[in-house]
Amino acid sequence: MTEVKSPEVPAPPAAVPDELTPGRRRWHGVRPWLPLAALAVAAILPYSTVSLPGIFEGPLNSPGTLQLLAVCLVFGGLAAGYDLLFGRTGMLSFGHALYFAAGVYGTDILVTRAGLPLWQAALLAVTGATTLAALLGAVALRTVGIAFAMVTLAFAQVGAILVARDFGGWTGGEEGLPLDVSGLPPALVGVTNTVNLYWLALAYLAVVVLVVHRVSGSPTGRVLAGLRDDERRIGVLGLDPYRFKLVAFTLAGGLAASGGVVYCLIVGGASPHITSSELTLSLLVMVVLGGPGTRWGPVLGGILYMYLDHRLTAFGTSDAVESLPAVLSRPLSQPLFVLGTVFILAVYFFPGGLASLTSRLTPLTRALRPTPRA
């Protein structure tokens, strides 16, 4: 008896893994070039005359807008440097503002009081602040946890007292110390040269991101990540956690001091508010808002925080807010209240910071993507 075979039904084609689809391959090919594209766009931004009402008070190439963007870029780099401590090594420092202030005041004092050229003043200020970070870090890192945070806060408070008391008449006390522009290069002086300060701030941000990225990808960076996860494991492997943490602490202090030099040129002097512990707390908020331990999260968090900090002041005094009922106008006129509300909402809905938006939106884009027909 002849066996009758049923006709073979061809098996459906295997689903192509998402990471092998042409769209994903193109995205992975373009993704490494996105930072360079963003850098190029930011570099040519001063040539644009586009106006964004409500976002900026003038065109993109106006001096006021460029100065605001320059300050945002500096704090984006400052947040990225602080993330080297907090997000990548797991060290909670409450005194990071001290090294930023050392760069600001050091540059201002050496130019205004000592009459040194800018390049010499900047080099000495950064070198001195880096050395200070190494010395204070060598003491603070003998402690861990909350004790470490309190020791760094104590050092920062000593610096704030020295600035406020104006010992020797060097810092200007509570009045601050205006920068003597007669000793600066002409290209960095005047409203018309604000664009050069903007490019200087952009260069500082690019250098900080490059340094942090290279350190994080190096063997030292992997040890720092291990310290963040489990310090005892690093000790068991025969490595000295103290030495690696001191390297990270010193490097972060040097990057902060470099940002202080650029900030001093942008604002034209030094003021005692940069020595307060509130600045370090603001850096912590910037990093958490952007996403600690990520490549671009702290940068975005620092830029967004400083933009809101400047623009909310103008928003709180605008006619639109003043025309609201008192129950709404009073809290909206307080920038810190609005910033705190934004931070709470961001942490609640995006616990991983702005950097987690991509991973959270990926399932949504996959769900909305049309399924291929069989």
Position 152 in a domain: yes
Q: Indicate the number of domains in the chain.
A: 1
pLDDT of the residue at 220 = 92
Position 33 in a domain: no
Mean pLDDT of 60-65: 92
Position 132 in a domain: yes
Please give the structure tokens belonging to residue 94: 């409450």
Position 351 in a domain: yes
pLDDT of the residue at 15 = 45
Q: Strand 269-270 to strand 177-178: parallel, antiparallel, or no bridges (unpaired)? A: antiparallel
How many Cα atoms sit within 13 Å of 80 on the Cβ side?
28
Angle of CA points 69, 73, 79, to nearest 5°? 140
pLDDT of the residue at 368 = 52
Q: Is the pLDDT of residue 86 over 80?
A: yes
What's the one-letter identity of residue 160? A
Residues above pLDDT 70, as percent of the chain: 87
Position 251 in a domain: yes
Q: What is the pLDDT of residues 109-161, one digit of tens each?
A: 999 999 999 999 999 999 999 999 999 999 999 999 899 999 999 999 999 99
Q: What band does 369 get if pLDDT is binned at 50, 70 and 90?
A: low
Q: What is the pLDDT of residues 272-306, one digit of tens each?
A: 999 988 898 899 999 999 999 888 899 999 999 99
Position 15 in a domain: no
Q: What is the pLDDT of residues 72-82, one digit of tens each?
A: 999 999 999 99
Q: Which domain holds residue 155?
A: 58-368
Position 230 in a domain: yes
Give the CATH number for residue 286. Answer: 1.10.3470
Position 39 in a domain: no
- Strands in 200-297 per DSSP E: 269-270
